[in-house]
Amino acid sequence: MLLIRGGTVVTAETSQRADVLCDDARRIVAVGPDLESPSGCDILDTGGLLVMPGGIDPHTHMEMPFMGSVASEDFYTGTCAGVAGGTTTIIDFVIPEPGHSLLDAWKDWRSKAEKAVSDYSFHVAVTHWDEKVHEDMGTLTRECGVNSFKHFMAYKNALMVDDDVLLRSISRALELGALCNIHAENGDAVAYLQADLLKRGMTGPQAHPLSRPPSVEGEAAQRVIAIAGLLGAPIYIVHVSTEEATAAIAAARARGQRVYGEVLAQHLVIDDSVYADPDWLGAAQHVMSPPFRPKHHQKALWAGLASGQLQTTATDHCCFCAGQKEQGRNDFTKIPNGTPGIEDRMSVLWHHGVLTGKLTPQEFVAITSTNTAKIFNIHPRKGSVSVGADADLVLWDPQASRTVSAKTHHQNVDYNIYEGMTLTGLARYTISGGKVVWADNDLRVTRGAGQYVERPCFSPDMQAAIHRKTTS
Ligand code: URP
Ligand code: ZN
Ligand code: ZN
């Protein structure tokens, strides 16, 4: 057993002095002041640290095959980096190749993830449509603990699905009580702009943001919101990066539609000036989709999070080393898209959010953990500090600082997009399943200790949407 003593427990709702007792079955068994320590119990004296639910990153891509490469971070190294930054659960993406079985791909990802050191779960992507997809969605929701399906409106001739697939898949997911995730960018527009830029001789990474301007995201967000509205289905839009998409989500919510928006930590603090880097690799390392945006979009994203119109933060952790980015040296459309960040998300949010007064500590907990647990129907097991919840905790030092560097990070990638940034607020201890896995810069993980988290369908929000549909 483990007794965490002398901390201030911060949840999405409250902040109070309390001890936390974790048993050997990975659960929290008591929360309160001055708890007795059972005999033989390990004691962790926090010295006044904040005790918060472990971070949940709802958007990662460990060892993902993508654009002719495979992401360098695997489930072992990626979850190590996660716990070093206070993240104790990830929701990664199973991505079947178009035409392939969703169920087989899920099995494949399950075996890849067995080496994870902390808990993990999966969204499953729908990359084409046929009867087998319809059937597999049923099997995945009923037998495999999957309650969310992903759709890419971009990546033409690869992962992209058209409106017909969106309609069929969102409708099928609703029937099953599952939530659809959407990468909202107009893939036809991107392909057209890419071809045009290349024809005009613009082959470098500077062309990447020009091929995916904000309106490309705004249009797709509006379109998928309209499609989901027709069906009466809730949707979750991943990596919202623009004022336009934020406004589309806020407008839909004001009409009573259940639309959720996720923000990446990197989009909150890094802008499109990175593409002006004269060093090809420096710019290529920032090639991700949606791209980094002009600074004024950041204001809308922060406001969206603070107002609750956007609910979660993620990383879209998708690592490609220099040699992999190099494959697009002569053609920016071939640079594998993706940036790292799982280790730094919580610190970036604390430093740039809480310490600037944009967020309260409770809002920090909500957007780094609790809201994700609620939306993906694993609350209060995850995202809470309460009796019966999983003993996944971060002991947060709100005053300590560190300077981010690829030389010292735990991510299996040769750069860090926050290189040189000094951040105040860090994970001093991380507890996963009742075990200390990170203690004052020391990783104490066990390969394979992470468990697969099954997520049931028919979350309360989904039930309400279905009830509304049947009564309207
Ligand atoms: O650039 C990105 N985001 N790479 C990962 C795939 C995706 O679109 O989420
Ligand atoms: Zn995406
Ligand atoms: Zn992604």
CATH of 53-382+453-471, one of 1.20.120.1200, 3.20.20.140, 3.60.110.10, 3.40.50.1100: 3.20.20.140
Q: What is the 61 CA–ligand 3 centroid distance (Å)?
A: 6
Question: For a substitution probing ligand 1, which of 316, 333, 335, 342 has the most ligand atoms within 8 Å of its CB?
Answer: 316
- Index of the ligand 1 atom closest to the CA of residue 183: 8
Q: What is the 58 CA–ligand 2 centroid distance (Å)?
A: 12
Q: What is the 152 CA–ligand 3 centroid distance (Å)?
A: 9
How far apart (Å, rounded) are the C-alpha atoms in residues 342 and 317? 6
Question: For a substitution probing ligand 1, which of 186, 208, 236, 288 has the most ligand atoms within 8 Å of its CB?
Answer: 288
Q: CA nearest 58: which of 448, 378, 337? A: 378
Q: What is the 152 CA–ligand 2 centroid distance (Å)?
A: 7
Nearest CA owner, ligand 1 atom 3: 289
Residues in contact with 109: Cβ distance below 8 Å, sequence separation at least 6, in sequence order: 92, 94, 122
DSSP state of 229: H
DSSP state of 79: H
Looking at residue 472, its pLDDT comes to 84
Q: What is the 3-state secondary structure (H, E, C) of the chain?
A: CEEEEEEEEECCCCEEEEEEEECCCCEEEEEECCCCCCCCCEEEECCCCEEEECEEEEEECCCCEECCEECCCCHHHHHHHHHHCCEEEEEEEECCCCCCCHHHHHHHHHHHHHHCCCEEEEEEECCCCCHHHHHHHHHHHHHCCCCEEEEECCCCCCCECCHHHHHHHHHHHHHHCCEEEEECCCHHHHHHHHHHHHHCCCCCCCHHHHHCCHHHHHHHHHHHHHHHHHHCCCEEECCCCCHHHHHHHHHHHHCCCCEEEEEEHHHHHCCHHHHHCCCHHHHHCCCCCCCCCCCHHHHHHHHHHHHCCCCEEECCECCCCHHHHHHHCCCHHHCCCCECCCCCHHHHHHHHHHCCCCCCHHHHHHHHHHHHHHHCCCCCCCCCCCCCCECCEEEEEEEEEEECCCCCCCCCCCCCCCCCCEEEEEEEEEEECCEEEEECCEECCCCCCCCECCCCCCCHHHHHHHHHHHHC
Residues within 6 Å of ligand 1 by CB? 61, 183, 288-289, 316, 318, 337-338
How far apart (Å, rounded) are the C-alpha atoms in residues 211 and 291? 9
Span 62-99, pLDDT tens digits: 999 999 999 999 999 999 999 999 999 999 999 999 89
Span 414-448, pLDDT tens digits: 999 999 999 999 999 999 999 999 999 999 999 99
Both tokens of residue 459?
């979350």
The full set of domain ranges for the chain reads 53-382+453-471
Looking at residue 335, its pLDDT comes to 98
Q: What is the 209 CA–ligand 1 centroid distance (Å)?
A: 14
- Index of the ligand 1 atom closest to the CA of residue 289: 1
Ligand in closest contact with the CA of 123: 3
Q: Look over the chain and give the mean of its residue pLDDT values, rounded to a whole number.
A: 98
- The per-residue pLDDT string of the chain (472 residues; one tens digit each, 9 = 90 and over) reads 999 999 999 999 999 999 999 999 999 999 999 999 999 999 999 999 999 999 999 999 999 999 999 999 999 999 999 999 999 999 999 999 989 999 999 999 999 999 999 999 999 999 999 999 999 999 999 999 999 999 999 999 999 999 999 999 999 999 999 999 999 999 999 999 999 999 999 999 999 999 999 999 999 999 999 999 999 999 999 999 999 999 999 999 999 999 999 999 999 999 999 999 999 999 999 999 999 999 999 999 999 999 999 999 999 999 999 999 999 999 999 999 999 999 999 999 999 999 999 999 999 999 999 999 999 999 999 999 999 999 999 999 999 999 999 999 999 999 999 999 999 999 999 999 999 999 999 999 999 999 999 999 999 999 999 999 999 8
Question: For a substitution probing ligand 1, which of 152, 186, 318 has the most ligand atoms within 8 Å of its CB?
Answer: 318
Nearest CA owner, ligand 1 atom 4: 338
Size of the chain in residues = 472
